[in-house]
Structure 1
């Protein structure tokens, strides 16, 4: 099986079943949570400069894969929410992007 972070997820792939979500969640960092049907992860940093640098890296990655997370950041943290708006749920693209973010 191809490592999740190396996959190319189809744009607007089908919404995943609960079983598929559970299976893919095992392939990303355990810090990712399912909240309200969306993938959520909190990242802590030492200062604003580090937080912004991480946001910039995630932004570049999102552009490369054409899948864009919701990002909130402040002085010492970045929160990322992944969700496929078009499908009103989680798709493989959300988990692929999460796996790629894990490697930053």
Structure 2
């Protein structure tokens, strides 16, 4: 799967609510009421990652989770990253 051109990245980002990009990855910070909710969300993201064999970087703590996708093997963003982000949005 090839790296997406910037214009395609911009189009796909416009379809995702509150996701941002640095050109090589996409990320979103999710907010929660407490640590338990953050952990529950992260576990669901982990299940999606295992199912799709596409694993994000995850940072989380009390009341938040930051999810970042990139395709390390491709050296940038691919369709796989956006498909995974869409699945995370469905949680």
Q: For structure 1, which runs of at least 5 residues remain unmatched after alignment?
A: 1-12
Structure 1 length-normalised TM: 0.83
Q: Which residue of 2 aligns with 1:26?
A: 14
Distance, in Å, in 2 between the alignment partners of 1:91 and 1:68 is 13
- 1:34-83 Cα offsets, whole Å, 9 max, x none, are 12521010001111100000000000011111100000000111001110
For the aligned residue pairs, the C-alpha RMSD in angstroms reads 1.0
Matched, 1:17 2:8: no
Which is bigger in relative contact order (C-alpha 8 A, separation at least 6)?
1
User: Secondary structure, in 3 states, of the residue corresponding to 2:73?
Assistant: helix
The CA distance in 1 between the partners of 2:34 and 2:22, in whole Å, is: 26
Count of equivalent residues: 91
Q: TM-score, normalization: structure 2? A: 0.94
